[in-house]
Amino acid sequence: MNASRQPVIAGVYTTQQTRDSKGRTGLSYGLEALRGALDDAGMQRSEIEGLYPMVSHWPAGPPSPSWYQQFSVWPYQLGIPIRWFTGGLNAAQTGAPAILDAAAAIRTGNIDTAAIVLGSAHPPRSDGRTAVWTRHGHEFTGWTGSYTSVQFSLVARRHMIQYGTTPEQLAAPAAVIRGHGHVNPDAVMYHRGPVEVSDVLESRMIADPLTLLMCAQVNDGGGAMIITTLERARDLPTTPIHILGGADQLSYPAYQEVPLLEHHLGHPFPTDWVDKGFARAGVTRADLDFLELYDGFSIWILTQLEMLGLCGPGEGGPLAESGALAIDGRYPTCTDGGCMSFSHNGTPSLFRPIEAVRQLRGEVLDDCPGGRHTYERATCRKVRDPSIGLAMTMGPPTGGGNFVVLARD
């Protein structure tokens, strides 16, 4: 392959993440994010050829637009032709799958530049119920009263029974990740800490054994990413971040069928897809400097550590309890506060790679005085001189998921 066609990330942006959008729409957030990512990259809208969009709704449009409507309105809205539409039908496809697909399209010369755009704003819930995306009317899910927290509480309990995982081990990742968000001025939960394991365990029970602080929040906001060729990036003001590779696996309809620790036909889920992803990226697990995992629930962190082969089955709890997920630990994890503290807008997949890019660039906002990183962990969340990071962008992390490996020169 021509080295000049190597795909790199040239621009990223996140809007304000908030619990109150004050009438803003998902499209509004998405367009702001796209403008911001283009400005960050030093590029023009006219350079975009591939697009991976996901917004919660279009103003004055049909409540449930068709696949064609979701995509066809974008060229009209942006005023440019779009030549590569292959993803963005759901939240997962604005994360690692979109990044990997765009990278492949750039390598093969189909396009030179792609944008990934997400924006989400939700109507207020006057009834106090959980977010709409957690409730499904599918077969045995809706009528039983089951919703996402309940489903993954069963996974957590099974993990505890099968492997001896303790409540403290289940709470450990939540405490660490929320601590990272505590010193992130962009996080919805900024200065809502520090958080100890005891705080997590003593918070209100949601679905036993998952407490409130073991669960992601619900809010609105947007984000965007610009991917282009290394040749184009050499003329741009930002540090290009290389897309080394990754992988994707889907084993069952997420959040509709009950998640399991093994296949419903009675055999383990295949994990060779993870090994193949690392091989395609040309890295080993030992090369990783930090992890941006998908932390919808604390149990997801444990199962992702195991699924990625960073520890053995059932060893996720002890690894999390050991301090390995802290900024100065072996695997600094969800360094912006993740879904639990930074943002979960219903489509948060792209936020994990965006944070990875910022860590690799060294562009990390925190409480360090004057913007100079002190590495004092009460105020600083910057990883020390990272070269390679992994971003996991959607689940559910039993039976599959997707990830991308990113690197700086």
Q: Tell me, what's the pLDDT at 177? A: 98
Q: Tell me, what's the pLDDT at 281? A: 97
Report the C-alpha gap between 290 and 383 in whole angstroms.
Answer: 8
Closest Cα partner for 9 from 35, 43, 45?
A: 43
pLDDT tens across 9-65, in order? 999 999 999 988 888 988 999 999 999 999 999 999 999 999 999 888 766 555 555
Q: Tell me, what's the pLDDT at 146? A: 73
* One-letter amino acid of 239: T
Output DSSP code: residue 255: T
Both tokens of 384, joined, read 């020390």
Residue 388: inside a domain, yes or no? yes
- DSSP per position, 13-51: EE---BS--TT--HHHHHHHHHHHHHHHHT--GGG--EE
Residue 201: inside a domain, yes or no? no
Both tokens of 237, joined, read 């003001």
Domain enclosing residue 90, as ranges: 3-123+218-407
Report whether 366 contacts 59 (CB < 8 A).
Answer: no
Using DSSP, state whether 148 is helix, strand or coil: helix
Specify the CATH number for the domain of residue 84.
3.40.47.10
pLDDT tens across 128-164, in order? 566 666 666 665 666 666 778 888 899 999 999 999 9
Report the C-alpha gap between 79 and 82 in whole angstroms.
Answer: 9
Using DSSP, state whether 318 is helix, strand or coil: helix
Residue 192: inside a domain, yes or no? no
Ranges of the chain whose pLDDT falls below 50: none
Q: Tell me, what's the pLDDT at 88? A: 59
Residue 88: inside a domain, yes or no? yes
Residue 170: inside a domain, yes or no? no
Report whether 63 contacts 354 (CB < 8 A).
Answer: no
Residue 340: inside a domain, yes or no? yes
Q: Tell me, what's the pLDDT at 319? A: 98
Q: Tell me, what's the pLDDT at 144? A: 67
Q: C-alpha 320: how far from its chain's center?
A: 19
Closest Cα partner for 183 from 357, 335, 18?
A: 335
* Residue position matching structure tokens 């009528």: 143
Name the helix (H) or strand (E) containing 245: strand 241-249
60: left (phi over 0), alpha (psi -120 to 50) or beta: left
Q: Does residue 81 have a cis peptide bond before it, meaning omega lies within 30 degrees of 0? A: no
Both tokens of 75, joined, read 């060229």
Report the C-alpha gap between 280 and 356 in whole angstroms.
Answer: 19
CB count within 10 Å of CB 172 equals 27
Beta strands in 32-142 (DSSP E): 50-55, 113-120
Q: Tell me, what's the pLDDT at 125? A: 62
pTM exceeds 0.85 for this model: yes
Residue 209: inside a domain, yes or no? no
Report the C-alpha gap between 105 and 387 in whole angstroms.
Answer: 25
Residue 81: inside a domain, yes or no? yes
Count structural domains, the chain: 1
